[in-house]
């Protein structure tokens, strides 16, 4: 197992000496094996590890027990750990997500935050060759193309999969040889999940024809990933001038698109969907073929609706990919002090009360309270200070409403319509409903990331400051 993982790390350049790595540990065999193997290799590879575990709160005491198991395991192995819980069922209800989609979103947001907090270069997850084989079969049955069949990449941005070359059987053998305990998630055996049926019903049948079917499918995924990368590189050359940005849209030039080979037309479509804010990976092969046919034949003025909130419109010699207008209504009261999650806007808001002593200026107060931007400043996308006694205790985060106005700082208290301000600030139309607004009663105090309101700013007489920080959730 150790040589297998070292070979994978070297082959895909997953780690460099001196890296700090957040290890995602669920408590199951794959993640426990991942932690143990990286710990055994840490001296040789000059790594420092940090365990991260998120209790999704789906299974009550059972999942809470798993969190305790991981915390205890990290303590026994002398590895620092961050163990938290998050109400994923509530997130799924609020956002209309499936349990799996909600858990994945919350988990990766948590891992990203932990990595930033501990200054880790990499996040390691326990995906194995068995997961790769199952993914390959799942996507094959749904009609995925080359990109989909390429499966789980060994590295994507800062997320690495050191066990991607090892099978689940090899994982269990390693754990047994070192007498490492783990916990089992009962949801992994429920037949209601298609992946579980692939694992328990389809793969065993295929292995009767080829006992090394897992390795074979994982190798096929690796080959297709190389083919996919080569095709994307070729498309980069041919695509210049075909996919362009136009106002608030992504445009595909019709003449250039029609000259592309069919395989590249499909890829160009996926690029346009992703660039316009959609998710091409969620389009079926049928939807892709229908959209390509539309791009080749639609007349000016015709439109086609794509799933997940996108629309394609033929406009003379080009096709515009635009997000469909959706009514977004969001208003959340903020505790002061406190931290709130606002999932509708995909942000987290922190409020703090700071006391100014003896006419201190704002910078001095921030420095004394340890609130000046430091090494982790990138965690907070926006930060602003207000006079707490002017802004009042009841503050909310909301999106824009018809008739909104405020007094932008630097304009001497003059009023300006929010709509005009957003246009002047070149905020794309499709993003204007998603700009967070800090409101005091009915008045806008801050157009987050753009401008504060003159009326609520602190001055030399201010005794109590309200610090508001906004963090984008990954």
Mean pLDDT of 179-189: 78
Mean pLDDT of 200-208: 88
Q: Are residues 422 and 451 in the same domain?
A: yes
Q: Are strands 464-472 and 347-355 parallel, antiparallel or unpaired?
A: antiparallel
Last residue of a domain, one of 295, 323, 351: 323
Residue 160's alpha-carbon distances to 122, 219, 397, 427, in angstroms, are: 7, 18, 36, 35
324: pLDDT strictly greater than 90: no
Mean pLDDT of 278-304: 85
Q: From CA 395, how far away is CA 350, in angstroms rounded?
A: 12
pLDDT of residue 377: 40
247: Cβ contacts below 8 Å, ≥ 6 apart: none
Query: Does residue 234 lie within any of the structural domains?
Result: no
Query: Does residue 67 lie within any of the structural domains?
Result: yes
Query: Does residue 289 lie within any of the structural domains?
Result: yes
**The total number of structural domains that make up the chain:** 3
Q: Are residues 273 and 372 in the same domain?
A: no
Query: Does residue 190 lie within any of the structural domains?
Result: yes
Mean pLDDT of 204-215: 91
Give pLDDT tens digits for 408-422: 987 878 899 999 998
Give pLDDT tens digits for 216-271: 998 988 898 888 888 888 888 877 888 888 766 788 999 999 999 998 999 999 88
Q: Are residues 132 and 266 in the same domain?
A: no
Q: Are residues 193 and 278 in the same domain?
A: no
Question: How many other C-beta atoms can be found within 10 angstroms of the C-beta atom of residue 374?
Answer: 8
Burial of 276 (0-12, 13-18, 19+ CB in 10 A): buried
Q: Are residues 163 and 206 in the same domain?
A: yes
Q: Are residues 64 and 152 in the same domain?
A: yes
**Regarding predicted confidence, which is higher, 25 or 361?**
25
Q: From CA 282, how far away is CA 269, in angstroms rounded?
A: 13
Q: Are residues 373 and 419 in the same domain?
A: yes
Radius of gyration of the chain (CA): 26
Residue 255's alpha-carbon distances to 208, 290, 296, 317, 337, in angstroms, are: 51, 18, 9, 7, 57
Task: With CA atoms as reference, report the closest residue to 348 among 391, 392, 397, 384.
Answer: 397
Q: Are residues 31 and 172 in the same domain?
A: yes
CATH of the domain at 387: 3.50.40.10
pLDDT of residue 40: 93
Query: Does residue 127 lie within any of the structural domains?
Result: yes
Task: Record the tokens describing residue 168, joined without a space.
Answer: 């689940």
Last residue of a domain, one of 277, 299, 323: 323
193: pLDDT strictly greater than 50: yes
The predicted model scores a pTM of 0.59
Query: Does residue 60 lie within any of the structural domains?
Result: yes
CATH of the domain at 286: 3.30.465.60
323: pLDDT strictly greater than 90: no
CATH of the domain at 81: 3.40.50.620
Q: Are residues 315 and 336 in the same domain?
A: no
80: pLDDT strictly greater than 80: yes
DSSP assigned state of 267? H
Q: Are strands 122-124 and 159-160 parallel, antiparallel or unpaired?
A: parallel
pLDDT of residue 120: 92
Question: How many other C-beta atoms can be found within 10 angstroms of the C-beta atom of residue 358?
Answer: 5
Q: Are residues 212 and 292 in the same domain?
A: no
Q: Are residues 366 and 444 in the same domain?
A: yes
**H helices present in 143-211, as ranges:** 146-149, 168-177, 194-197, 203-209
Work out the percent of the chain whose per-residue pLDDT is above 70.
87
Residue numbers of the domain that contains 275 = 239-323
Q: Are residues 12 and 114 in the same domain?
A: yes
C-alpha angle 346-408-423 in degrees, rounded to nearest 5: 65
Confidence of residue 374 (pLDDT cuts 50, 70, 90): very low
pLDDT of residue 258: 92
Q: From CA 473, how far away is CA 193, in angstroms rounded?
A: 28
Task: Record the tokens describing residue 423, joined without a space.
Answer: 């246009």
Query: Does residue 371 lie within any of the structural domains?
Result: yes
Query: Does residue 229 lie within any of the structural domains?
Result: no
Chain-centroid distance, C-alpha 199: 27
Last residue of a domain, one of 323, 342, 364: 323
pLDDT of residue 372: 53
């Amino acid at each position: 197992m150790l040589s297998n993982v070292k070979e994978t790390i070297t082959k895909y350049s997953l780690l460099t000496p001196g890296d700090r790595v957040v290890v995602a540990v669920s408590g199951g065999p794959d993640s426990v094996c991942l932690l143990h193997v990286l710990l055994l290799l840490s001296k040789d590879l000059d790594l420092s590890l940090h365990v991260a575990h998120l209790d999704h709160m789906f299974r009550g005491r059972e999942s809470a027990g798993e969190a305790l198991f991981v915390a205890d395991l990290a303590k026994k192995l002398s590895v620092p750990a961050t163990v938290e819980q998050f109400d994923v069922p509530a997130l799924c209800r609020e956002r209309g997500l499936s349990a799996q989609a909600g858990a994945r979103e919350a988990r990766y947001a948590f891992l990203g935050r932990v990595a930033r907090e501990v200054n880790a270069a990499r996040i390691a997850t326990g995906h194995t060759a068995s997961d790769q084989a199952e993914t390959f079969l799942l996507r094959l049955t749904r009609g995925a193309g080359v990109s989909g069949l390429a499966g789980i990449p060994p590295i994507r941005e800062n997320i690495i999969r050191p066990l991607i070359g090892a099978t689940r059987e090899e994982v269990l053998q390693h754990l047994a040889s070192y007498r490492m305990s783990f916990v089992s998630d009962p949801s992994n055996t429920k037949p209601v999940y298609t992946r579980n049926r692939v694992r328990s019903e389809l793969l065993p049948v295929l292995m009767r024809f080829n006992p090394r079917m897992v390795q074979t499918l994982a190798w096929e995924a690796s080959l297709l990933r190389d083919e996919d990368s080569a095709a994307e590189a070729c498309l980069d050359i041919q695509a210049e001038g075909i996919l362009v940005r136009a106002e608030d849209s992504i445009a595909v030039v019709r003449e250039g698109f029609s000259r592309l080979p069919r395989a590249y037309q499909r890829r160009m479509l996926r690029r346009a969907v992703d660039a316009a804010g959609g998710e091409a990976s969620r389009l079926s092969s049928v939807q892709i073929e229908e959209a390509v046919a539309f791009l080749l034949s639609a007349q000016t003025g015709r439109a086609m609706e794509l799933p997940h909130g996108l629309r394609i419109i033929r406009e003379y010699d080009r096709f515009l990919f635009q997000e469909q207008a959706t009514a977004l209504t969001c208003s959340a009261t903020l505790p002061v002090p406190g931290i709130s999650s606002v999932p509708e806007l995909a942000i987290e808001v922190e409020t703090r009360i700071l006391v100014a002593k003896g006419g201190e200026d704002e910078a001095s107060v921030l420095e004394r309270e340890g609130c000046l931007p430091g090494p982790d400043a990138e965690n907070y996308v926006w930060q602003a200070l207000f006079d707490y006694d002017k802004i009042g205790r009841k503050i909310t985060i909301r999106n824009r409403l018809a008739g909104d106005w405020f007094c932008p700082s630097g304009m001497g208290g003059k009023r300006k319509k929010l709509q005009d301000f957003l246009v002047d600030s070149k905020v794309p139309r499709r993003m204007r409903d998603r700009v967070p607004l800090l409101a005091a009663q009915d008045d806008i105090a801050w157009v987050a990331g753009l401008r504060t309101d003159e009326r609520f700013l602190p001055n030399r007489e201010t005794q109590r400051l309200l610090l508001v920080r906004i963090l984008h959730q990954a």
